[in-house]
Amino acid sequence: MSSEAHTSAEYIKHHLQNLTYGHLPDGTWGIAHSAEEAKAMGFWALNLDTFIMSLLLGAAFMFMFRSVAKSVVSGTPGGMQNFCEWALEFIDTSVRGSFSGKNPMVGPLALTIFFWVFSMNLMDLLPIDYVPLLMKALGVPFFKVVPSTDPNATFGMAIGVFVLVVYYSIKMKGLGGFVGELTLQPFGKWGMPVNLLLEGVNLIAKPISLALRLFGNMYAGEMIFILIALMGGAWAGMSVGNATLYGSQILLSLGWAIFHILIVTLQAFIFMTLTVVYLDMAHQEHH
């Protein structure tokens, strides 16, 4: 909590605003300086903070794995190689556990999802004011450092997964099979509209639940960090009440951060596992 001029509402709003690049009302292209401006940009705008952070994080762990993969030896592995191998085997085991088909893409997909989501979520553990303050000093008005608190990021991934699910459903069962799966069950061909409604919801629910689960968890977590940060922000001169609040902020931040380590990992794992499960369902014939 920094600026004296901010009210709590402004503080929260500021923290929840993405750095959006798009078409400004005056006709030029640039960065939105308020939530209203960002909203007015419509669809053709880019959340620079989400984009940059997810790109950096994805590139970082890809670079890490790639550097190991380049020098990988089947002999005695070093520490980094050990870690990467452990990660791969962990992912591979859990993919084998829930994916019964044969598809060389599912393993890498699961690995990418897990580490990408994990690293994006992990940004939540950075002290919430440091990055925005640093960015403010650099002249950047907003910077949301956790990409997975931006629904664009989570829905972006979920859409990717959804496309794969549809693609493999059609590839494995044929277009007729896929359509049949949507329309001919559970009530047979006379219940076609009802079937389509039920199965359609079932299908659409997959990406939406994936995206919203991750987004919701991370957004809520971030929100609680912000609220905890507000406690110490109420500082107004030395008094017992202020000191207590300040102390509580430290303790609560610590507690929540430790708890969040669990959530960060768990959400990444859930996103990965559900993706694998959905793809497994796409590969299997229904009865």
Partner 1 sequence: MNINATLLAQTIMFALFVWFCMKFVWTPIMAALDQRKKQIADGLADAERAKHDLEMAAKRSAEILREAKEKAGEIVTNGEKRAGEIIEAAKVQAKVEGDRIIAGAKAEIDQEVFRAKEQLRTQVSAIALAGAGKILGREIDAKAHNDLLDKLVAEI
Residues in contact with partner 1 by the rule CB under 8 A: 16-18, 20, 22, 38-39, 41-47, 50-51, 54-55, 58, 62, 65-66, 68-70, 72-75, 84-85, 88-89, 92, 104-105, 107-109, 111-112, 116, 150-153, 155-157, 159-160, 163
Does 217 qualify as catalytic in the annotation? Answer: yes
- Active-site choice (94, 152, 213, 242): 213
Which residue number, 103 or 265, has a Cβ lying nearer to partner 1? Answer: 103
Q: Under a CB-based contact definition with an 8 Å cutoff, are residues 147 and 126 in contact?
A: no
- DSSP code at position 280: H
Kindly report the backbone phi and psi dihedral angles of residue 46, in degrees, each rounded to the nearest multiple of 5, phi listed first: -125, 130
96 catalytic residue (yes or no): no
Q: In what helix (H) or strand (E) does residue 210 lie, and over which residues does it extend? A: helix 192-233
Other CB atoms within 10 Å distance of the CB of residue 205? 11
Q: Is 213 a residue of the active site?
A: yes
Q: 43 or 190, CB closer to partner 1?
A: 43
**Phi, psi of 59, rounded to the nearest 5 degrees:** -65, -40
Identify which of 64, 52, 65, 61 has the alpha carbon closest to the alpha carbon of residue 18: 52
Shortest distance (Å) from residue 37 CB to partner 1: 11
70 versus 287: smaller Cβ distance to partner 1: 70
- Cβ-based nearer residue to partner 1, 116 or 269: 116
What minimum distance in Å lies between the beta carbon of 241 and partner 1?
33
CA-based Rg of the chain, rounded to a whole angstrom? 23
Catalytic residue numbers, as ranges: 209, 213, 217
